[in-house]
Chain A
Amino acid sequence: MTEAIQKTVQPIGVATAALETKRLSAWFGDLHVVKDISLTVEKNDVFSLIGPSGCGKSTFIRCLNRLHEETDGARVRGEVLIPGAGKRENIYAQGVDPVSIRRRVGMVFQKPNPFPGLSIFDNVAAGLKLAGVVRRNVLEEIVEISLVQAALWDEVKDKLKKPGTSLSGGQQQRLCIARALAVRPQVLLMDEPTSALDPISTARIEELVMKLRSDVTVLIVTHNMQQAARISNQTAFFLMGELVEVGPTKSIFTKPKDSRTEQYITGRFG
């Protein structure tokens, strides 16, 4: 327990933290997959989570928008703080509606998952419509801005009425990013967003993530250590549900403090 507290990175300035977890634990049934994680993500960070398969990194970010609890038998304990109206708010506090949290903490998934029944336009507009935006011109404006942000506008501007599933895999994933951005989340969670994509699509999405930094805080789970090194400024290394080490990406990759981190990044396991 003290170990976990020691691993906590103290926030530099609380006011700039986009997200902070306090002793966050998660279970699937009896399986304890995320163990007492406390960490802070600063505003406009690109924060990558690395670690071998099954280390709990995906489950960890699924706790950050309260999606983990949608799985049968899943449980969460601990706090996740995000800036709310004037003060910071624990998304696991009693009476907090997970739906309202998910509008503020967006998510991009491992596999591109546009809504099959909807056009490109309607896919991007889906979250806005859920939030009650109905005026056509507002929808059109935000859809365009979001598609531009997701670097997809030029490719789809002439076929917005086509089904979202008609796009290529890489385009679908950027469509999903546009869909998540359209509702203006404070934090964007990305769960291995390029693992199902070819290298060129991957490069485009990495480029995009680096650009998004100025608008939104990004937490990205990745299997690919080069990707973490390329695009993130902070990195956390997870192992068997525990947070082993967290810090600026450069120092994690050049002079890791923990021997397990060193072993992992030099490819000795994982």
Chain B
Amino acid sequence: MSNPVPAHQVLARRNLGDRIFFLALRAVSIGTIALFIGMLIFIGKLAWTSVEAQGFRFWVGDDWNPPMDIFGAAPFIVGTLASSLIAVLISAPISVGTALFLREIAPRKLANVVAFLVELLAAIPSVVYGLWGVFVLAPIMRDTIQPFLAKWLGPDTYFAAALGHGMTAVAYPFLLVADTLGLTEVTLVSLSANMMAVSQGLFDGPPLGLGLLTSGLVLSIMITPTVTALSREVLLTVPDTVREAALGLGATRWEMIKLALMKTARAGLVGSIILGLGRAIGETMAVTMVIGNRNEIPKSLFEPAQTMASVIANEYNEADGMHLSSLAFVGLSLFAVSLIINFLARTLIRYLNRGSRA
């Protein structure tokens, strides 16, 4: 039989445990921040030569010519944004739709099985997606999908014309403002011609298989499990009572989905799409394998391109001096793009949430 320990000693011992736990947590969290800052400093130092030499021109220059020591990263920025945007445009409706199906329509047992399979997609290594993209998707794109798209959306189609006029209409108010302020030499005619050139070129060119569109497609498949799983989680947080409120008011299933689920969960749904976008922006291996790796701004979705991540992966091995420094600058820029998108996402989520905060 042991003597009972006095209460204050038990407390002291427990307080010591608390103290150690607290210090350990603090050490870990400070360590994480230190690591982050350390990496930033390292990349910043490596990139500094290039930052000093190029400055802002780095982001607008469209010529990337290492032998001549000319470094413009615009093609990669465009490639990253374009491929990620394609991925999100394809993936978002599929992912949110799947999540809604799993939440509302599928019987629970089926939903669990499907959810598990979708999450399994996330476990496939990206190099395997890349292999699949190169050997399965690219030939299909080349032989079937791209010719089909060129026929219906390519040059001299109604789609291209409508898109060109539409983009002109959207851009016109900005032109008017700029014109009134005397900032631009662009006229409506030249604006329209430019927009038309873009829309006519979007699905133009030889179907190569590898290129911007294919990489966007592979990315969309890669981010779908993430976005689906997150959307499903978000939808599951909507209380059943809110669903029943809508049903009890005489909402049909679809009306209930709009009124109770989507409205309540919209911020979370946007958040999960943005996380998918973030993943698409940083994805390297699969994109490098299927995007075609050409250091020019693509005019057509069929053309090969290059992303910020893929150019680093492709060139770091034989780079030195200014070239290496410029690659580090690309890395820094990629980091900045991710940060900006994260920030915009947070702003958007806060804006969408303004109604539901008590």
A interface list, Cβ under 8 A from B: 65, 67, 70, 72, 99-100, 102-103, 106-107, 109, 111, 113-119, 126-127, 130-131, 163, 165-166, 176, 179-180, 183
Contact = CB atoms under 8 A, between A and B. Distances in A.
Interface in B234-252: 239, 241-242, 244-252
B259 A126 contact: yes
B245 A130 contact: no
A106 B255 CA distance: 17
A26 B245 CA distance: 21
A163 B248 contact: no
B107 interface: yes
Contacts of A107: 244, 248
Given A109-B241, A163-B357, A163-B358, 12 more contacts: A67-B248, A99-B251, A113-B245, A115-B245, A115-B263, A116-B263, A117-B266, A117-B356, A119-B355, A127-B249, A176-B245, A179-B249
Nearest to B260: A115
A119 B263 CA distance: 12
Given A115-B263, A117-B264, A126-B259, A102 B250 contact: yes
A24 to B, nearest CB: 18
Ranked 8 nearest A-B pairs via Cβ: A117-B263, A103-B250, A107-B248, A113-B241, A127-B249, A102-B250, A116-B356, A113-B245
A107 B357 CA distance: 25
A29 B224 CA distance: 35
B242 A116 contact: yes
29 contacts: A67-B247, A70-B247, A72-B107, A72-B108, A99-B251, A99-B252, A102-B247, A103-B249, A106-B248, A107-B244, A109-B241, A109-B244, A109-B248, A115-B242, A115-B259, A116-B242, A116-B263, A116-B355, A116-B356, A117-B263, A117-B355, A118-B263, A126-B246, A127-B250, A130-B255, A163-B358, A165-B358, A166-B358, A179-B249
A130 B250 contact: yes
A65 B248 contact: yes
Contacts of A99: 250-252
Given A109-B241, A113-B241, A116-B242, A130 B249 contact: yes
A99 B250 CA distance: 5
A115 B259 CA distance: 8
Dominant secondary structure at the A interface: mixed
A72 B250 CA distance: 19
A163 B249 contact: no
Contacts of B259: 115, 126, 130
Q: Give the contact-size bracket for chain B.
A: 20 to 34
Contacts of B250: 99-100, 102-103, 127, 130-131, 183
A116 B264 contact: yes
Contacts of A115: 242, 245-246, 259-260, 263-264
A183 B241 CA distance: 19
Contacts of A127: 249-250
A126 B355 contact: no
B267 to A, nearest CB: 9
A221 to B, nearest CB: 14
B249 A102 contact: yes
A107 B245 CA distance: 8
A106 B250 CA distance: 8
Contact of B248 (A100, A131, A180): A180
A166 B107 CA distance: 35
Contacts of B242: 113, 115-116
A126 B260 CA distance: 11
Given A72-B108, A113-B244, A180 B249 contact: yes
A119 B354 CA distance: 11
A163 B355 contact: yes
Contacts of A67: 244, 247-248
A73 to B, nearest CB: 9
A20 B356 CA distance: 40
A166 to B, nearest CB: 5
A118 B264 CA distance: 9
Nearest to B238: A116
Contacts of A103: 249-250
Contacts of B252: 99
Nearest to A165: B358
B355 A118 contact: yes
Contacts of A106: 248-249
Contacts of B264: 115-117
A117 B251 CA distance: 16
A179 B241 CA distance: 14
Interface in B210-244: 239, 241-242, 244
A229 B96 CA distance: 49
Contacts of B263: 115-118
A99 B266 CA distance: 25
A131 B357 CA distance: 28
Interface string B252-266: 100100011001101
B52 to A, nearest CB: 50
A116 B239 CA distance: 10
Nearest to A168: B358
